[in-house]
Amino acid sequence: MASTKQLLFLPGPVTVAEPVLTAMTRPLIDHRGPEFKRTLERMSSRMRPIFGTRHEIMLLGASGTGGLEAAIANLVEPGDKVLACPVGVFGNRIASIAKMWGADVEVLDTKWGRGVDQRALAERLRADTNCEIKAILLTHNETSTGVANEMHALATAIGKHPALVIVDSVSGMGATPFMMDDWGFDVVIAASQKAFAAPPGLAMVAVSDRAWEKMEKTRSSRFYFDLRRAREFAKIGQTPWTPPIPIIFALERAIDLYEREGDKKVHARLTLNAHAIHAAVTAIGLRLYSQPPYHSNTVVAIHCPDRVDASAVLQTCRDQGYVLSGGQQQLKGKIFRIGTMGDITRDNILAMLGVFEDAVERQGFAVDLGAGVQAAREAFKAGLHSVAF
Ligand code: PMP
């Protein structure tokens, strides 16, 4: 019989902790009133250290994609040369948005499974002697391939090139150290349903001074996602449009839990979860899709062996209450993706891995049953000392 209780091991949305869910049942408040103003101000100032910025963190009533579209609509004009650096589906998505807004998009190609090569980026920018490139698009953590870019190294590669740097950190923010200001990033976009472990519905956007200046001059049309309006309203502790108030309550409670655990401990927990999953899947003879040193700590991507039906494996896991993810677009049927974020314990992970091993074995792939769980248990026991990401 299929399980009715489900634990999400997706790369977002994630299993949300009880106090965060409960926060959504609070009576609504006036979004033009003083309590809401205090809430927004508190949340912006509490998220700043996570983003590594002194700038306002604006909340948009949208999923992560809305945040990406806002960044492009406000900064990119028809004909602008934009250098996109995709390493998977979501990098391609922001490149498509830029194209839709009329940008002349050049793609710096990277083999999927790897992060952007810092030397290739530096070289391309060095060749741009007339500074024709107006914006650079980066993905902090590429959810479709389980890849984390080395953001500090990419910031160094960009150096003093004047292009604005737009970073999709939807599935990365809060999971690894991030220094928006020190690294010279201009727009950074996050979302509520990933490492913050709140429900979906909010995008968070931070903008640098020079990006605000550029925005004043951008002629592209925008309305709902006009960040200048969002900034004007943020100054009076409001959002321009009616916000998803329950999700804001939930996100604030999720930030409480995040702060209580501490950012370093959250980073370490996610890294250890990912490491234990790596250990398990390699122990049963599967291969990781991402290549070192680019392994993400929020999502683990695993090759599905030939002759194994990925959707059948996922269905078996789902029937037992463990919801894992498959590949997207050209990776459909070719990989599994397992998220590490959210309110999941080590025991939950070990149980999920047991079900996963079993499901793979049922597909005729020879598995030494229990080997994966044992490897993960040892990884948890060894802690982070043995982790080389
Ligand atoms: N970028 C990345 C890196 C993501 O992981 C996602 C969501 N999986 C998005 C963008 C899009 O976010 P959303 O689904 O919230 O629109």
Q: What is the pLDDT of residues 301-347, one digit of tens each?
A: 999 999 999 999 999 999 999 999 999 999 999 999 999 999 999 99
The pLDDT > 90 percentage for the chain reads: 96
CA distance to 48, 100, 290, 369, per residue, from 379 (Å): 33, 45, 19, 17
- 191 Cβ inside 6 Å of ligand 1: yes
C-alpha of residue 381 to centroid of ligand 1, in Å: 32
Domains of the chain by range and CATH?
A: 7-13+262-382 (3.90.1150.10), 19-259 (3.40.640.10)
pLDDT over 70 at 94, yes or no: yes
Element (DSSP H or E) covering residue 252: helix 245-261
Q: Are 53 and 187 in contact (CB under 8 A)?
A: no
Q: Give how far the C-alpha of residue 30 lies from the chain's centroid of Cα atoms, to the nearest Å.
A: 31
389 pLDDT band (50/70/90 cuts)? Answer: low
**Structure tokens that stand for 221 in this block:** 């049309």
**Residue pointed to by tokens 């913050």:** 196
Q: Are 304 and 310 in contact (CB under 8 A)?
A: yes
C-alpha of residue 116 to centroid of ligand 1, in Å: 19
C-alpha of residue 90 to centroid of ligand 1, in Å: 7
Q: Parallel, antiparallel, or unpaired: how do β-strands 7-8 and 322-323 relate?
A: parallel
pLDDT digits (tens, 9 = 90+) for 272-287: 999 999 999 999 999 9
Question: Which pLDDT value is given to residue 127?
Answer: 98
- 64 Cβ inside 6 Å of ligand 1: yes
SS3 318: helix
CB count in 10 Å sphere of residue 378: 14
Total length of the chain: 389
Question: Which pLDDT value is given to residue 388?
Answer: 59
Of 388 and 204, more confident: 204
**What average pLDDT score do residues 162-188 get?**
98
Strands (DSSP E) contained in 237-328 are 299-303, 322-323, 325-326
- Rg, Å, the chain Cα set: 21
What's the rounded Cα separation, in Å, for the pair 94 and 105? 10
pLDDT over 70 at 58, yes or no: yes
**What average pLDDT score do residues 94-115 get?**
98
C-alpha of residue 34 to centroid of ligand 1, in Å: 32
C-alpha of residue 63 to centroid of ligand 1, in Å: 8
What's the rounded Cα separation, in Å, for the pair 260 and 246? 21
**Structure tokens that stand for 165 in this block:** 């740097």
**Structure tokens that stand for 218 in this block:** 């951008």
Q: In the chain, helix, strand, coil percent, each to 5? A: 45, 15, 40
CB count in 10 Å sphere of residue 90: 23
C-alpha of residue 69 to centroid of ligand 1, in Å: 12
Contacts of 109 (CB under 8 A, 6+ apart): none
Element (DSSP H or E) covering residue 275: helix 263-283
Q: Full-prediction pTM beyond 0.95?
A: yes
- 325 Cβ inside 6 Å of ligand 1: no
Question: Which pLDDT value is given to residue 2?
Answer: 65
C-alpha of residue 143 to centroid of ligand 1, in Å: 8
- 170 Cβ inside 6 Å of ligand 1: yes
- 90 Cβ inside 6 Å of ligand 1: yes
Backbone angles phi, psi at 64, to 5 degrees: -55, -40
Which residue has a Cα nearest atom 13 of ligand 1?
64
Residue 303's DSSP bridge partners are 335
- Using CB atoms within 10 A of its CB, is residue 187 exposed (0-12), middle (13-18) or buried (19+)? buried
C-alpha of residue 271 to centroid of ligand 1, in Å: 20
Residue type, 270: L
Cis ω for the linkage preceding 13 (within 30 of 0):
yes
C-alpha of residue 11 to centroid of ligand 1, in Å: 9
CB count in 10 Å sphere of residue 285: 14
Q: Best mutation site among 97, 143, 299 for ligand 1, i.e. most ligand atoms within 8 A of its Cβ?
A: 143
Q: Best mutation site among 72, 89, 90 for ligand 1, i.e. most ligand atoms within 8 A of its Cβ?
A: 90
Q: Best mutation site among 87, 94, 141, 171 for ligand 1, i.e. most ligand atoms within 8 A of its Cβ?
A: 171
- 143 Cβ inside 6 Å of ligand 1: yes
What's the rounded Cα separation, in Å, for the pair 17 and 12? 14
Contacts of 220 (CB under 8 A, 6+ apart): 73, 74, 76, 77, 78, 101, 102
SS3 207: strand
C-alpha of residue 322 to centroid of ligand 1, in Å: 21
Question: Which pLDDT value is given to residue 179?
Answer: 98
**What average pLDDT score do residues 239-251 get?**
98
- For the CA of 66, the nearest atom of ligand 1: 16
- 341 Cβ inside 6 Å of ligand 1: no
C-alpha of residue 65 to centroid of ligand 1, in Å: 6
Of 186, 120, 184, 174, the C-alpha closest to 148 is: 174
What's the rounded Cα separation, in Å, for the pair 252 and 244? 13
- 192 Cβ inside 6 Å of ligand 1: no
**Structure tokens that stand for 308 in this block:** 């194994």
Question: Which pLDDT value is given to residue 353?
Answer: 98
Residue type, 100: M
386 pLDDT band (50/70/90 cuts)? Answer: low
